[in-house]
Structure 1
Amino acid sequence: MEKELHNFLESDLLNKYLVGDTTIKETQEVEYFISKYPEASDAFDKLQKNLEIIAKAGAVDVPKHILKDILNTLEEDNSPKVIQLVQHKKTPWYSIAASVAAILFAVTSFFLYQKNQNLLEENNIVIDEIFDLRGDIENNNLKLGELSEQLMKLNNPDAKKYVINGNERAKNLKTVAYINPVDKTSMIDVITLPQLPEEQHYQIWAELQDRMVNLGIINEADRKLKPIPYMEDALALSIKIGKKGEETNENNTEVAEISLKNE
Structure 2
Amino acid sequence: METKLHSFLNSDLLNKYLVGETSMEESKEVEHYIYQYPEVASAYEKLQDNLQVIAKAGAMDAPNHILSNILESLDEINETKVIQLVQKNKTPWYSIAASAAAILFAVTTFMLYQKNQQLNSENTIVDAEILDLRSDIDKNNSKLDELSKELLKLNNPDAKKYVINGNERAKNLKTVAYINSVDKTSMIDVIALPQLPKDQHYQIWAELQDRMVNLGILDEADRKLKQIPYMEDALALSIKIGKNGDDTDNNSTEVAEISLKEE
Post-superposition Cα deviations, 1:215-243, rounded to whole Å, max 9, x if no partner, equal: 00111233221110111111111111122
Picking from 66, 70, 74, the partner of 2:47 is 70
Q: What is the distance in 1 between the residues matched to 2:159 and 2:171? A: 27
Offset, 1:104: 2.4
Q: How does 1:147-166 map to 2 (within 5 A)?
A: 147-166=147-166
Number of aligned positions between the proteins: 202
Post-superposition Cα deviations, 1:79-107, rounded to whole Å, max 9, x if no partner, equal: 79xxxxx9652333442342233122212
* 1:202 match: 202
2:193 is the counterpart of 1:193: yes
* 1:259 match: 259
Q: What is the distance in 2 between the residues matched to 1:107 and 1:123? A: 24
Change (3 A) 1:77 1:203: closer
Q: How does 1:1-263 map to 2 (within 5 A)?
A: 60-61=10-11, 64=14, 65=41, 66-72=43-49, 74-75=51-52, 89-250=89-250, 253-262=253-262
Instruction: Give unmatched runs, 5+ long, in structure 1.
Output: 1-57, 81-85
Identity of aligned residues (%): 72
Q: What is the distance in 2 between the residues matched to 1:219 and 1:104? A: 73
Contact 1:206/1:234 (8 A) holds in 2 = yes
Offset, 1:61: 3.9
Contact 1:59/1:111 (8 A) holds in 2 = no
CA RMSD, Structure 1 to Structure 2 (Å): 2.8
Post-superposition Cα deviations, 1:6-25, rounded to whole Å, max 9, x if no partner, equal: xxxxxxxxxxxxxxxxxxxx
Q: What is the distance in 1 between the residues matched to 2:45 and 2:98? A: 13
What TM-score, normalized by structure 1, do the two folds share? Answer: 0.67
Contact 1:237/1:257 (8 A) holds in 2 = yes
Q: What is the distance in 2 between the residues matched to 1:202 and 1:180? A: 23
Offset, 1:74: 5.0
Instruction: Give unmatched runs, 5+ long, in structure 2.
Output: 1-7, 15-40, 58-85
